[in-house]
C-alpha cells in the first residue's frame, strides 16, 4: 500500500489502511510471547535488519512486477528475467563472501532442491504475480500477513507448536483485516 502510494501515487483507502493495521496488529500479537525471549545482542539486531531488508526488497519487487504488468510484459518472461537477476545476484554474493559452490548428489538434497525450484519458486511466483495482476499490489501484499498464520498451523501439526491465547486473538484480528481488505475490492469492483 505504501509502495503503491510512493511510486505510483495510488490513493490509500480507509478500508485498506484499516485492514493493514489490523493485519500488523494481529501478527504482532501472534508473536508477542516470542518477543519475551529476544536477546538484545548482535545476532538479534542482524536478524531484525535482515527482516526489514527482506520486506523492503519484497516491496520493491512487487513495485517492479506492477510496473511490468502495466507495460504488458508477459508473466513467464517477467518471472524468467527476475529469476535470472536473482540467481546472478546470489552467485555474486556467494563468490564475494568466499563461499564454495557445491552440489550434493544425495536424494534428499536433490529432491529438496527440485521442490524449492519448482513449487517454492516457479509455482509460487506464478501464483503471486497472477494474484497481483488480479487484485492489485496492495491487496496481494496481504500475503505477508497470512503466510505466518499458515506456517503456525503447519508448525502446530508437524512440529508441536503450542497455541496460546494471543495466538488465537492475533489470528482472528489478522483474518478480520484480510476480510476488510478483500471485501472492499469486491464491493468496489
Domain-by-domain residue ranges, the chain? 2-188
pLDDT tens digits, 26-52:
988 988 888 877 777 888 888 889 989
- What pTM value is reported for the model? 0.72
User: Which three cell numbers, joined as nine digits, stand for 25?
Assistant: 496488529
Task: Give residue for cell 521442490.
Answer: 115
As a whole number of angstroms, the distance between CA 20 and CA 178 comes to 8
Which pLDDT value is given to residue 95? 94
Please state, in angstroms and rounded to a whole number, the distance separating the CA atoms of residues 82 and 130.
15
User: What does the alpha-carbon distance between residue 87 and residue 93 come to, in Å, rounded to a whole number?
Assistant: 10
Q: What is d(CA 166, CA 160) in angstroms, rounded to the nearest whole number?
A: 17
Tens digit of pLDDT for each residue in 48-88?
899 899 989 888 888 888 898 889 999 998 899 889 998 99
Amino acid at each position: 500500500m505504501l509502495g503503491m502510494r510512493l511510486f505510483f501515487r495510488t490513493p490509500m483507502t480507509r478500508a485498506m489502511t484499516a485492514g493493514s493495521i489490523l493485519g500488523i496488529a494481529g501478527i504482532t500479537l501472534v508473536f508477542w510471547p516470542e518477543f519475551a525471549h529476544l536477546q538484545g545482542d548482535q545476532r538479534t539486531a542482524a536478524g531484525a535488519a535482515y527482516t526489514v531488508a527482506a520486506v523492503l526488497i519484497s516491496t520493491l519487487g512487487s513495485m517492479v512486477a506492477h510496473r511490468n504488468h502495466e507495460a504488458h510484459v508477459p508473466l513467464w518472461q517477467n518471472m524468467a528475467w527476475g529469476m535470472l537477476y536473482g540467481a546472478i545476484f546470489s552467485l555474486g554474493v556467494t563468490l564475494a563472501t568466499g563461499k564454495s559452490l557445491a552440489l550434493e548428489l544425495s536424494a534428499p538434497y536433490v529432491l529438496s532442491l527440485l521442490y524449492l525450484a519448482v513449487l517454492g519458486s516457479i509455482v509460487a511466483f506464478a501464483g503471486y504475480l497472477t494474484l497481483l495482476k488480479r487484485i492489485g499490489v496492495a491487496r496481494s501484499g496481504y500475503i505477508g500477513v497470512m503466510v505466518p498464520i499458515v506456517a503456525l498451523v503447519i508448525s502446530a501439526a508437524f512440529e508441536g507448536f503450542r497455541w496460546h491465547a494471543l495466538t488465537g486473538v492475533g489470528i482472528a484480528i489478522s483474518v478480520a483485516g484480510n476480510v476488510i481488505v478483500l471485501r472492499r475490492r469486491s464491493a468496489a469492483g
